[in-house]
């Protein structure tokens, strides 16, 4: 019963049924042709008999003979003819009173039976071979799935045919590739998380140790000079602000990675955004006596979340300020095309070595020219925010010639 429920078996049964119908139809046509040939042969023999009768008995009228042949019932003529046939050993009750015709019909029946048996045997063999092929393929797929369950993703089952089993194998291969990529990504993510935790621990350890030492000094030396005390308190406050910034930035990254942030889609004028960035970094610019040169049309805009984009652009400009010497400029230009809105931020810093350019957006990456307090998270956060809102960021740099950050916000279709 289980075999009957399988789709492959049902298909074969339907196929065999259709073929049987076709064979029966063909055999019926063959029998009709044989019967017609039999009738022709009988008529030929009757014609020969009539010819002999006319030859031997010219007085017999043709109309009388034709009348006898066309009559359905002529009991007296039939009995007389039957007696004559019996005198010569011919039994009228047999299938054929003509021996050659009877033998021919028997031969035809045997041939037809043999043809039917050959067809039946042929299709039975095909059916058995198909079931063996099917069972083999099913077993291969079962073994393949077992290997996948055992986390063995190294198997390959390319198949370019178009049957159901091949399509199933190809789909399984696609799933295997996807699972393999997920496993690799999971491993990379675990390694990245482990590295990140290690980096964070290291980054927090230094300021916390410094804070702990300064607090111990304050507690153990109540008679400490007022100026030294103020320095200690100021340094503790600075270190606490730095730790607070680190924690907040990490929380922002975590929320973005987990898609726990609902980013708005509002019209942002680039001019207003850059002005706000300049206000946020006013102290840093004043300390280093730097200026921001802004160029762009007032109406240039793009769709995004103002506060999050402010965070991203602020981090990029802050990076430029930190890597640019005093009394230098930072240029920010923007323009709008049919396809995107572009913002360029260029500094007059020392530039980035070619081997470091592809790493600067990686989390916790610190280049050779990184500042003392840098932990390599600002640019990574900026890149994540920009890409979350249909944007792209690239960087171009030459040593001693400065660095240019190019941001493109693509237009929505």
Q: Is the pLDDT of residue 97 over 50?
A: no
Q: Is the pLDDT of residue 155 over 90?
A: no
pLDDT in tens, 379-399: 888 999 999 988 999 999 888
Q: Is the distance from CB of 406 to CB of 344 less than 8 angstroms?
A: yes
Pairwise pLDDT comparison (240 vs 162), residue with the higher score: 240
Q: Is the distance from CB of 266 to CB of 303 less than 8 angstroms?
A: yes
Going by pLDDT thresholds of 50, 70 and 90, the confidence category of residue 1 is: very low
Domain ranges of the chain: 2-149, 164-257, 266-410
What pLDDT sits at residue 395?
Answer: 92
Pairwise pLDDT comparison (310 vs 30), residue with the higher score: 310
* pLDDT (average), residues 109-122: 74
What pLDDT sits at residue 88?
Answer: 53
Q: Which residue has the tokens 């323009």?
A: 335
Look up residue 3 and give its two tokens: 């075999």
Q: Is the pLDDT of residue 89 over 50?
A: yes
Q: Is the pLDDT of residue 217 over 70?
A: yes
Pairwise pLDDT comparison (9 vs 178), residue with the higher score: 178
CA 136, chain centre distance (Å) = 26
Dist CA 329 CA 81 (whole Å) = 134
Please return the burial class of 39, using the count of CB atoms within 10 Å of its CB with bins 0-12, 13-18 and 19+. exposed
* pLDDT (average), residues 346-368: 82
Q: Is the distance from CB of 363 to CB of 336 less than 8 angstroms?
A: no
Of the listed ranges 155-169, 234-248, 310-324, 376-390, the one predicted with least confidence: 155-169
Q: Is the pLDDT of residue 19 over 70?
A: yes
* pLDDT (average), residues 185-201: 66
What pLDDT sits at residue 225?
Answer: 86
Pairwise pLDDT comparison (117 vs 303), residue with the higher score: 303
Pairwise pLDDT comparison (234 vs 46), residue with the higher score: 234
What pLDDT sits at residue 354?
Answer: 85
Dist CA 388 CA 395 (whole Å) = 18
pTM of the predicted protein model? 0.52
Going by pLDDT thresholds of 50, 70 and 90, the confidence category of residue 295 is: very high
Pairwise pLDDT comparison (201 vs 7), residue with the higher score: 201
Going by pLDDT thresholds of 50, 70 and 90, the confidence category of residue 176 is: confident
Dist CA 354 CA 349 (whole Å) = 15
Going by pLDDT thresholds of 50, 70 and 90, the confidence category of residue 91 is: low
Scanning 57-98, the segments in alpha helix (DSSP H) are 62-70, 75-87
Q: What is the DSSP letter of 363?
A: T
- Reply yes or no on domain 164-257 having CATH 3.30.70.20: no
Q: What is the DSSP letter of 361?
A: T
DSSP 3-41: HHHSHHHHHHHHHHHHHHHHHHHHHHHHHHHHHHHHHHH
By percentage, how much of the chain surpasses pLDDT 90? 20
Q: Is the pLDDT of residue 121 over 50?
A: yes
Tell me if domain 164-257 and domain 266-410 are identical in fold: no
215-237 burial, b if ≥16 CB within 10 A, otherwise e?
Answer: eeeeeeeeeeeeeebeebeeebe
Q: Is the pLDDT of residue 404 over 90?
A: yes
Q: Pick one of 3.40.190.10, 3.30.565.10, 3.40.50.150, 2.60.40.1080 as the CATH number of 266-410.
A: 3.30.565.10
What pLDDT sits at residue 230?
Answer: 87
How many C-alpha atoms does 308 have within 13 Å on its Cβ side?
22
Rg of the chain over Cα atoms, rounded to whole angstroms, equals 49
Pairwise pLDDT comparison (100 vs 229), residue with the higher score: 229
Pairwise pLDDT comparison (190 vs 326), residue with the higher score: 326
Q: Is the distance from CB of 404 to CB of 346 less than 8 angstroms?
A: yes
How many C-alpha atoms does 403 have within 13 Å on its Cβ side?
23
**Sheet bearing 329-336, strands edge to edge:** 291-295, 329-336, 340-346, 402-410, 391-398
* pLDDT (average), residues 218-246: 85
Phi, psi of 216 (to 5 degrees): -60, -40
What pLDDT sits at residue 175?
Answer: 74
What pLDDT sits at residue 3?
Answer: 47
Mean pLDDT of the chain: 76
pLDDT in tens, 62-85: 666 666 656 555 555 556 566 655
Q: Is the pLDDT of residue 299 over 50?
A: yes
CA dist 20 to 23, 26, 27, 120, 361, Å? 5, 10, 10, 9, 71
């Amino acid at each position: 019963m289980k075999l009957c429920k399988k789709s492959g078996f049902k298909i074969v049964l339907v196929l065999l049924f259709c073929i049987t119908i076709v064979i029966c139809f063909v055999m019926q046509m063959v029998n009709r042709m044989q019967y017609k040939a039999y009738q022709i042969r009988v008529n030929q023999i009757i014609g020969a008999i009539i010819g002999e009768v006319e030859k031997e008995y010219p007085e017999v009228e043709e109309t009388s003979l034709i009348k006898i042949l066309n009559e359905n019932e002529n009991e007296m003529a039939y009995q007389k003819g039957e007696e004559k046939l019996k005198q010569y050993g011919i039994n009228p009750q047999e299938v054929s009173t003509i021996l050659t015709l009877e033998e021919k019909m028997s031969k035809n029946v045997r041939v037809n039976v043999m043809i039917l048996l050959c067809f039946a045997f042929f299709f039975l063999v095909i059916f058995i071979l198909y079931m063996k092929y099917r069972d083999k393929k099913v077993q291969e797929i079962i073994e393949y799935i077992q290997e996948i369950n055992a986390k063995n993703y190294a198997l390959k089952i390319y198949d370019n045919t178009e049957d159901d089993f091949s399509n199933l194998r190809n789909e399984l291969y696609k799933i295997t590739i996807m699972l393999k990529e997920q496993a690799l990504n999971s491993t990379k993510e675990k390694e990245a998380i482990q590295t990140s935790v290690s980096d964070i621990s290291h980054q927090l350890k230094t300021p916390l140790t410094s804070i702990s030492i300064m607090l111990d000094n304050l507690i153990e030396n109540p008679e400490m000079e007022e100026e030294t005390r103020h320095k200690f308190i100021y340094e503790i406050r600075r270190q606490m602000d730095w730790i607070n910034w680190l924690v907040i930035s990490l929380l922002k990254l975590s929320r973005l990675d987990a898609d726990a942030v609902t980013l708005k889609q509002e019209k942002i004028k680039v001019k207003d955004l850059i002005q706000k960035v300049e206000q946020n970094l006013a102290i840093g610019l004043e300390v280093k006596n730097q200026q921001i040169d802004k160029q762009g049309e007032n109406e240039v805009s793009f769709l995004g979340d103002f506060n999050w984009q402010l965070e991203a652009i602020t981090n990029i400009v802050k990076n430029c300020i930190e890597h640019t010497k005093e009394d230098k400029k930072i240029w920010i230009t923007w323009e709008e095309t049919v396809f995107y809105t572009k913002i360029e931020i260029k500094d007059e810093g020392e530039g980035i070595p070619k081997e470091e350019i592809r790493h600067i957006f990686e989390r916790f990456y610190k280049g050779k020219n990184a500042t003392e307090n840098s932990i390599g998270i600002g640019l990574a956060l900026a890149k994540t925010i920009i890409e979350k809102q249909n944007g792209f960021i690239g960087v171009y740099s030459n040593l001693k010639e400065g660095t240019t950050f190019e941001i493109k916000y693509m237009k929505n279709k």
